[in-house]
Structure 1
Amino acid sequence: MSTDGHYLAVFTSNKTSPKWRAWYAMSEAEQRTKAEIGVAAVKAWDAAHRDVIVYQGGPLGPTKRVADDGIADVVNELTVFMVVRADSHEAAARIFEDHPHCTIFVCDAVEVMPLLGG
């Protein structure tokens, strides 16, 4: 499969950010209500962009780092990923403007990068 025009989008979230502090300050009922709204918005976003989503991806779990000094549990800001198709890097980035993960949920940003190779 050629990767021309394919872009990896990685959603990031710092659990000490103001968005997370606001989330933790909400009651469980408020969190549940916001989550229901967010899930519906993500489903609508996915449906509206289904023609450019190459791979749906999904949430990312706990991370293990493998390095010269061994294997260790680490914490990073990577939370969700997906692959999209676009005519340019800029166009791929614009797909994620106002994404519900950032506007309703607590993701801080989406990092978009071209997939290289063939």
Structure 2
Amino acid sequence: MKRFLAIYIGTAGALEKAKWNELDEEKRKAIEASGMKAWMEWGTANSAAIVDRGTPLGKTKRAASQGITDITNSMVGYVIVQAESHEAAARLFENHPHFAIFPGDSVEIMECLPLPGQ
């Protein structure tokens, strides 16, 4: 089985489109509860494929030859899954609660390749 890193993407545009910040607190909390229930159900249904459940991601720092800086990106969480193919891994995320219930933008799935020479 191959391993894949799936990055949950969240953009300001997706928040605006969903009018997430305009929801009253009660409505938003109800959607959050529904979304978390669906997310846990997704995790249970796909538990055989999940290698690392991942976590939400916090603020980002970039380390480069010019030094360390604070940056902003669209990555909001990750999970590592295993599947027979890239296509099969991507199919695990069809209609995922991240974007089907929550105002997430998408999930980007990439294969974890072996180190050269290993």
Common fold: TM-score over 0.5: yes
Match of 2:62 in 1: 65
Matched, 1:9 2:37: no
CA distance in 2: counterparts of 1:41 and 1:79, whole angstroms: 18
Pairwise CA RMSD: 1.0
Matched, 1:98 2:66: no
Give the drift of 1:25. 1.2
CA distance in 2: counterparts of 1:49 and 1:100, whole angstroms: 13
CA distance in 1: counterparts of 2:27 and 2:88, whole angstroms: 35
Matched, 1:20 2:20: no
Matched, 1:86 2:83: yes
Match of 1:54 in 2: 51
For normalisation by structure 1, the TM-score amounts to 0.92
- One-letter identity of the residue aligned with 1:44: E
Match of 1:117 in 2: 114
Where does structure 1 differ by over 2 angstroms across 4 or more consecutive aligned residues? none
- Gaps in structure 1 of 5+ consecutive residues: none
- One-letter identity of the residue aligned with 2:98: H
CA distance in 1: counterparts of 2:24 and 2:71, whole angstroms: 29
CA distance in 1: counterparts of 2:103 and 2:62, whole angstroms: 24
In structure 2, the residue corresponding to 1:81 is in which secondary structure?
strand
CA distance in 2: counterparts of 1:108 and 1:5, whole angstroms: 25
CA distance in 1: counterparts of 2:101 and 2:70, whole angstroms: 29
For normalisation by structure 2, the TM-score amounts to 0.92
Percent of pairs with identical residues: 38
Q: How many residues align?
A: 113
- Gaps in structure 2 of 5+ consecutive residues: none
